[in-house]
Amino acid sequence: MHGWAAVSYPPNVELDLDGGLEGRDIGAVQRAHDWAKDVVAPMAETWEAERRFATEAFESAGQNRLTGLLVSSEDGGEQVSVVGLARVLEEIAAVDFAVAFSLVCHNNLAGAVARRAEGSLRTKVLPGLVNGSSLGAFLLTEPNVGSDAAAITVSAAQDGEEWVLNGEKAWATNGTDADVLSVYAQTDSSLGHRGIATFLIDANGPGVIKTPGYQMLGGHGLGANSIRFDNCQVPAESLFVPVGEGFRAAMEGIDLARVLVGAMCCGMLRTALTTASDYVRERLAFGGRLADLQGVRFKLADVSTDLEASRLLTYRAARTFQEGRDAAVEAAHAKKFSTRVAESGIASCMQVMGANGARRDHPLPRHLAASRLTHYVDGATEIQDVVISRSLLD
């Protein structure tokens, strides 16, 4: 590390959201901050360099009660508020986006199982998801189906007391190491989106073929890959969301997911601004500090303004969602703006650091790569434009 460089990860205390936080939220946020700084930060570059899933992070997350954040205490979880969850993920993404996004997908699945699953399926799957002994993955996207989720082609055919699945899913976060798969499949193509059902499947069972993790620009710690189903036979109890309700179930959490991506962008941008500010205070050039050059000061001031605007959009949407009101447009604004300013702002912070901004002994290059990925997850930027323009013009 450079002399300036031990990167600090101060908690986001200056954003006063305590009015929307409950006691358990505050504890979870502090726990997430400490865990990310102590456990994730030392390994984040290793996971990226080795291009593999952040196994050690997930194992530790369960021990630190970060795998059941949307599950009630009766089922062993904590069930933090929406604002609380966004704050937890902002703290983790301030250190590493890939780990934060991995936990988003896992927690969303655990929460869905807690809300919907019944009987033996619930008993079999939920405890492991909550305590972190099982890793969950959400399988909706396919090689030829991205934002048009209603067009999925992975098939599920009933065969007596069993279902048989065939086809391929793509961009499965946590997929390389997953234990439980939430699979959206078409039971009758003539019904369109009304034929979609959801199955909970053992990721290590017969007929499930995991491909190696994708080689990407960044974010390898989230373990994204493709998963194929080759005459995968599962018992009737594996039917998680009935035929006709699968598509709606997939869409239910999309607004929340977009809010959470906005919060994670805030975390990355916050770290970039802190890192660059610390650097330019200490770096001497042209007879003084870089921090005294107006060009540097104004560039960082622009980043700070974008960060504050991103926070306001994101947490406004989070509060709207938390209050049970329609947050679709607010979530779209938050994700569109936050992803855009995260990428440009991180690049600006790297620029004021000169060539040292490109070195991998601080997190900014890793955050810059991850910021590009945020444009695609949970609906590309263009999908946010569809939502926003529809509210204006239709």
Report how many domains make up the chain: 3
Residues 285, 235 within the same domain? no
Q: Is the model more confident about 320 or about 6? A: 320
Digit-coded pLDDT (tens) for 80-100: 999 999 999 999 999 999 999
Residues 158, 206 within the same domain? yes
The CATH number covering residue 379 comes to 1.20.140.10
Give the per-residue pLDDT at 18: 45
Residues 198, 307 within the same domain? no
Closest by CA to 109, choosing from 145, 72, 83, 135, is 135
Which residues contact residue 270 at a Cβ distance below 8 angstroms, ignoring those fewer than 6 apart? 12, 90, 94, 307
The CATH number covering residue 189 comes to 2.40.110.10
Instruction: Identify whether 2 is part of a domain.
Output: no
Residues 185, 281 within the same domain? no
pTM of the predicted structure, to 2 decimals: 0.94
Range of 226's domain?
Answer: 137-246
Instruction: Identify whether 274 is part of a domain.
Output: yes
Digit-coded pLDDT (tens) for 111-162: 999 999 999 999 999 999 999 999 999 999 999 987 777 789 999 999 999 9
Digit-coded pLDDT (tens) for 254-283: 889 999 999 999 999 999 999 999 999 999
- Of 134, 166, 199, which closes a domain? 134
- DSSP H helical segments within the chain, as ranges? 23-35, 44-50, 55-63, 82-93, 97-116, 119-131, 246-252, 254-282, 294-322, 328-352, 364-373, 381-393
Above 80 in pLDDT, residue 331? yes
- Both tokens assigned to 224: 């994204």
Instruction: Identify whether 100 is part of a domain.
Output: yes
Instruction: Identify whether 30 is part of a domain.
Output: yes
